[in-house]
A = this chain, B = another copy of it.
């Protein structure tokens, strides 16, 4: 059973440094990602559509519906209400490189920059499905793209109930930040499923198929799942039943956060510096759930400090106006579909005494990032406390992130591993007892 498509075709051209806001993330400018920097994760060659063909792009709504339809993009843009919303998309593989350091998973080594935010313009998916009139027994919306892959067209499904729920905000989008979609992002039409993993937001959308069962597309079955942690790569290859248990398919994002400043490799001289250093990063929740707090520990999780949080998404809540040809009105909605930025001013004297900086976020449903990594065979949904190690060198502090993205060497995980440390012990492979060598697990 070959899962190597992830390694063969994975594209992740943007590194952390390029992705994260170069200026303090207090402005909407850095809240949005430009199309050129927006992360890309496709499964094969990108379908090409000529400019003069865009308006005639056809997609169908079929399956368990009373009124099957084929629509052109022209019809979608003229016959339906157009809306614009800010949405953060996150690859299920965000932070996967940390999993690959613990044990090689079947997936590309994303760092912590597998996410981006844009204003998407299009039509609410339920408006289209409602006109097709789903029949009794209909429970799923299968989506299929135009990207022909080794195992057929890319496809997946979400629950019909979710697609019909305005609070879930599922869209058919054709613009990103006011521009028509670029080829890498689904030109000319894609699904956008806010609050869920990127893999459900099918690009180059050709079909919505209403069904009574989840998608049987190869990519729905063998991708975007978190199998139980004890299922090894061999076991998953030998027993397809693991892949067919819909309980292990992943939809909502889990709560997550990362530190962006101090950056990997950043140095802080202890001589002549200001008294404080402001650490910064991002956080997000899943399923529309707001991040309610972000906490920082400088003593390995024994005590925590509360960080400030800035929610740029809220700047859009007060308005009710046309933007990029769609109505922007979030006043009726309670959900949170975008990342937020946290920061905390720390005394440099505290950093000097610490071995590391840990961050964890909690969402409004009381979900919290755990200490322990949940390793799984595809390496997805990695969300343990994000840790930056502090290396002391005389009057210099040097900061080390867990990994460097893709194949770039570096990071404390690689260093600890080469030194024989155990990355699975919930203590970052560090040894205990003030220099002693007793491993933490007996």
Residues of A whose CB lies within 8 Å of any CB of B are: 139, 159, 161-162, 165, 167, 226, 228-230, 247-248, 250-255, 286-287, 289-290, 292-293, 295, 299-306, 332-334, 362, 364-372, 374, 381, 383, 424-427, 432-434, 436, 438, 440-442
Do residues B229 and A304 form an inter-chain contact, with CB atoms below 8 A?
Answer: yes
Do residues B372 and A247 form an inter-chain contact, with CB atoms below 8 A?
Answer: no
Do residues A381 and B366 form an inter-chain contact, with CB atoms below 8 A?
Answer: yes
Do residues A295 and B365 form an inter-chain contact, with CB atoms below 8 A?
Answer: no
Q: How near does chain B come to A241, taking the closest CB pair, in angstroms?
A: 12
Do residues A247 and B293 form an inter-chain contact, with CB atoms below 8 A?
Answer: yes
Do residues B368 and A371 form an inter-chain contact, with CB atoms below 8 A?
Answer: no
Pick the residue among B304, B368, B432 that contacts A370 (CB under 8 A).
Answer: B368
Given known pairs A161-B167, A441-B300, the reply for A292 and B436 (CB within 8 Å) is no
Do residues A286 and B365 form an inter-chain contact, with CB atoms below 8 A?
Answer: yes
Given known pairs A247-B293, A366-B250, the reply for A433 and B442 (CB within 8 Å) is yes
Count the copies: 2
CA distance A401 to B290 in the complex (A): 34
Known pairs A254-B368, A433-B438, A434-B442 / 8 extra A-B pairs, C-beta < 8 Å: A165-B165, A226-B366, A228-B295, A230-B295, A230-B305, A247-B290, A247-B292, A286-B365
- Main SS class of interface, A: loop
Q: How near does chain B come to A243, taking the closest CB pair, in angstroms?
A: 15
A–B Cβ pairs within 8 angstroms, 10 of them: A161-B334, A162-B334, A229-B304, A230-B306, A247-B290, A251-B365, A286-B365, A366-B383, A371-B426, A432-B442
Query: Which residue on chain B has the smallest CB distance to residue A303?
Result: B230
Given known pairs A165-B167, A228-B306, the reply for A368 and B364 (CB within 8 Å) is no
CA distance A328 to B140 in the complex (A): 22
Query: Which residue on chain B has the smallest CB distance to residue A139?
Result: B334
CA distance A209 to B287 in the complex (A): 28
Which residues of chain B have C-beta atoms less than 8 A from A441's C-beta? 299-300, 302
Q: How near does chain B come to A248, taking the closest CB pair, in angstroms?
A: 7
CA distance A381 to B89 in the complex (A): 29
Which residues of chain B have C-beta atoms less than 8 A from A301's C-beta? 372, 426
Do residues B364 and A367 form an inter-chain contact, with CB atoms below 8 A?
Answer: no
CA distance A83 to B345 in the complex (A): 53
Which residues of chain B have C-beta atoms less than 8 A from A229's C-beta? 295, 304
Do residues B374 and A371 form an inter-chain contact, with CB atoms below 8 A?
Answer: no
Query: Which residue on chain B has the smallest CB distance to residue A250?
Result: B366
CA distance A255 to B226 in the complex (A): 17
Pick the residue among B299, B334, B367, B442 that contacts A367 (CB under 8 A).
Answer: B367
CA distance A387 to B279 in the complex (A): 36
Which residues of chain B have C-beta atoms less than 8 A from A165's C-beta? 165, 167
Pick the residue among B230, B304, B432 that contacts A432 (CB under 8 A).
Answer: B432
CA distance A370 to B426 in the complex (A): 11
CA distance A334 to B214 in the complex (A): 13
Query: Which residue on chain B has the smallest CB distance to residue A136?
Result: B331
Query: Which residue on chain B has the smallest CB distance to residue A165?
Result: B167
CA distance A374 to B334 in the complex (A): 26
CA distance A128 to B441 in the complex (A): 57
Query: Which residue on chain B has the smallest CB distance to residue A299?
Result: B441
Which residues of chain B have C-beta atoms less than 8 A from A167's C-beta? 161, 165
CA distance A167 to B335 in the complex (A): 15
Closest 6 CB pairs of A and B: A252-B365, A254-B366, A370-B370, A367-B367, A433-B438, A247-B292
Which residues of chain B have C-beta atoms less than 8 A from A434's C-beta? 442
Which of A287, A383, A425: most chain B Cβ within 10 A? A287
CA distance A137 to B88 in the complex (A): 27
Pick the residue among B248, B295, B334 that contacts A292 (CB under 8 A).
Answer: B248
Pick the residue among B365, B370, B424 that contacts A287 (CB under 8 A).
Answer: B365
Do residues B252 and A364 form an inter-chain contact, with CB atoms below 8 A?
Answer: yes
CA distance A371 to B427 in the complex (A): 12
Pick the residue among B228, B306, B367, B370 that contacts A372 (CB under 8 A).
Answer: B370
Q: How near does chain B come to A193, taking the closest CB pair, in angstroms?
A: 14
